[in-house]
Amino acid sequence: MAKIIGAVTTSHVPAIGGAIAKGRQQDPYWKPFFDGFNPIRQWLGDNKPDVVVVIYNDHGLNFFLDKMPTFSVGAAPTYVNADEGWGIPSLPPFTGHQPLSWHLIESLVEEEFDLTTCQEMLVDHAFTLPMALLWPDQKWPVTVVPVCINTVQAPVPSAKRCWKLGEAIGRAVASWAGDEKVLVLGTGGLSHQLDGERAGFINKDFDLKFMDSLVGDDPQWATQFSGHELVEQTGTQGIELLMWLATRATLGEKVNDVFRNYHIPISNTASGLMLMTPKA
Ligand code: DHB
Ligand code: FE
């Protein structure tokens, strides 16, 4: 039986790709951010996951505004990155775990999630850069299953629905006959707003409360808020925290709070990082 051995949640800012390309990890601006990943890499080296389910949001590379699925799952043999216009180098392709992808798709559809299935799929900075933060040599030692949640075009799914999606992903992995060790990687958030009157908006109090909630007695705390309320609290792009909720939900009721980092700002974003493991 496959097993989720842990979950990492992190922000995903395109400028990270520029910092990596220019070797700026130890610059004073970047150091508090990049150093946050050292304990995570240590844990990955000790625990060696076989496959990563990456829960992220596409920003217009694979889906554009003309076709915007609420939830989509990749079932491709390979996932390729491409130029998104940020001026950062494209990263090497990722090998898909197709049998697990199809098992996930079948399980989720059986559980009444109406998915878009992608047998070809480009992956953007929200997928590639967190992977490069976990494995800086970019020689991916894992296969991947992309799960994409729309947070770029209204209407976005509710926090409650994303929590349920995460629970269903957890059940799907648990019912997979293989013996893979699975890492769930959720990317997005925390508070940030890139456009409009509140551009640059960050809400540290809310972010820290949210991170606390995920490892506390009420991990569903943020599901009390509507999409509009989440945008009010965290900014238009802060709604990407939905990925953190879905990721946390894959782990079951209780988790170990293994590691956290929070640093303001990276580009326009309050950058958060957590490693949680399931409590037996
Ligand atoms: C930034 C953050 C994002 O989540 C994103 O997708 C693009 C840019 C930023 O802070 O620059
Ligand atoms: Fe984003």
CA of 53 to the centre of ligand 2 (A): 18
pLDDT tens profile 166-225: 999 999 999 999 999 999 999 999 999 999 999 999 999 999 999 999 999 999 999 999
Alpha helices (H) along the chain: 15-21, 31-34, 38-47, 98-110, 125-134, 159-174, 204-215, 227-234, 242-249
Which one of 12, 103, 125, 263 is the catalytic residue? Answer: 125
**Minimal CA–CA distance to 125: which of 21, 20, 14, 267?**
14
pTM: 0.98
The pLDDT tens digits of the residues spanning 217-269 come to: 999 999 999 999 999 999 999 999 999 999 999 999 999 999 999 999 999 99
* pLDDT of residue 280 exceeding 80: no
CB of 16 within 6 A of ligand 1: the answer is no
Residues 21-48: tens digit of each pLDDT: 999 999 999 999 999 999 999 999 999 9
Which atom of ligand 1 is found nearest the CA of 125?
Answer: 6
Neighbours of 115 (CB within 10 A): 18
| AA letter at 49 | P
Q: Does the CB atom of residue 70 touch ligand 1 within 6 A?
A: no
* 192 among known catalytic residues: yes
12 lines ligand 1 (CB under 6 A): yes
The answer to whether the beta carbons of residues 16 and 266 sit under 8 Å apart is: yes
Taking the centre of ligand 1 as the mean of its atom positions, its distance from the CA of residue 263, in whole angstroms, is: 15
d(Cα 63, Cα 59) in Å, to the nearest integer?
Answer: 7
Given the residues 59, 192, 228, 263, the one annotated as active site: 192
Evaluate: CB of 243 within 6 angstroms of ligand 1. Answer: no
